[in-house]
Amino acid sequence: MTVNSVTNPSPNPVRGGACPVCETPIGHHGALCSSCRRPLPAIDAGPVLEVSDLEHTYGSGPTAVHALRGMSLRVQPGEVVLVVGPSGGGKTTALLSMGLLLTPSSGTVNHSGVETRAMTERQRSRQRLLGIGFVFQQFNLLEALTALENVTLPLRYAGVRTAPATARATRLLDDLGLAHRATSRPRELSGGEKQRVAVARALALAPRLILADEPTANLDSASGHQVAEHLVRAARHQRSGVVVVTHDTRLADAADRVLLLEDGRLRESSPSDPAGTRR
Ligand code: ADP
Ligand code: MG
């Protein structure tokens, strides 16, 4: 199955331009890049993410926790949205729902115009691999692999050939200032370096959506800023929409929009525009 059949019921494959992974000019309509074999995403001018009336309750009865109480959000290509809020406010629940790692109690999650609730588990896995890049607080790198191998892994899973996968991973590590760390294993890296490797891995397949859960929580202020800067610059460059959830309000400078998630509800954090959550 190709990503087009998963994410776009009426495929509108890439025309012209270049493959986002191997940068080979694309001159034909096809489900796979003929050079690196990355499944090509459809061109879609609409939002990369549209979440409507999301509600989620953990448990039931008197101990039920209403983590989300009607959250809506729309993210455009290349847009960086920061969702801040207190611990327990529902940030992780929201991110897991957007990332198809949790099925919310009600509401819809659309990825590039496609409703995800009807997807099979196999289609969801495929969408997580090709359509979403995740960055977690704990980095989640494989300890046995080098930085380069960690970044190459999703490319190989997606069927990208060895040479273009290695070239793409090398280029990303270089862009993130980690060229000299390519052969290091995670235990030899600082927290900031590990998180930049995780960012490179999230960017590897040029997913349309990047989701980050407290990406700077384990970092000192300077490395946190550096990671955020790299994430935002790279995501804008490849036109990925980004949602960062965090209680670290220092990241606000890097974002196009800052929203507040509190008690399972999302609102503009600016008191001058409290009306809605959409632009
Ligand atoms: P945040 O990431 O903003 O700290 P969470 O989404 O983790 O918020 O949690 C929102 C609420 O849901 C909290 O009250 C939390 O205790 C509760 N919660 C989160 N995960 C679970 C779970 N697996 N089971 C029960 N309650 C949960
Ligand atoms: Mg959390």
Q: Is 93 in the pocket of ligand 1 (CB under 6 A)?
A: yes
Q: Is 90 in the pocket of ligand 1 (CB under 6 A)?
A: yes
Domains, the chain, ranges and CATH?
3-268 (3.40.50.300)
Q: Is 123 in the pocket of ligand 1 (CB under 6 A)?
A: no
Q: What residues pair up with 211 in beta bridges, in sequence order?
A: 134, 243
Across the chain, which has 279 residues, the per-10-residue mean pLDDT values are: 37 58 70 72 77 96 95 94 93 97 97 93 93 93 98 94 94 92 97 95 93 91 86 85 89 90 84 39
How far apart, in whole angstroms, are the C-alpha atoms of residue 255 and residue 32?
A: 33
Q: What is the pLDDT of residue 30?
A: 58
Contact 21, 206 (CB under 8 A): yes
- Tell me which residue has its CA closest to atom 5 in ligand 1: 90
Q: What is the pLDDT of residue 12?
A: 39
Q: Is 67 in the pocket of ligand 1 (CB under 6 A)?
A: yes
Buried residues in 215-238 as b, exposed as e (16+ CB within 10 A): bbebbeeebbbbbbebbbebbbeb
Q: What is the secondary structure of 197-247 as a DSSP string?
A: HHHHHHHTT--SEEEEESTTTTS-HHHHHHHHHHHHHHHHHTT-EEEEEES
Q: What is the pLDDT of residue 225?
A: 86
Q: What is the pLDDT of residue 28?
A: 55
DSSP for residue 160: -
For residue 213, the ligand closest to its alpha carbon is 2
How far apart, in whole angstroms, are the C-alpha atoms of residue 256 and residue 277?
A: 13
Instruction: Please report, for residues 114, 140, 169, 181, 190, the alpha-carbon distance to residue 193 in angstroms, rounded to integers and kept in the order given.
Output: 35, 13, 15, 8, 5
Global pTM reads: 0.87
Q: What is the pLDDT of residue 211?
A: 97
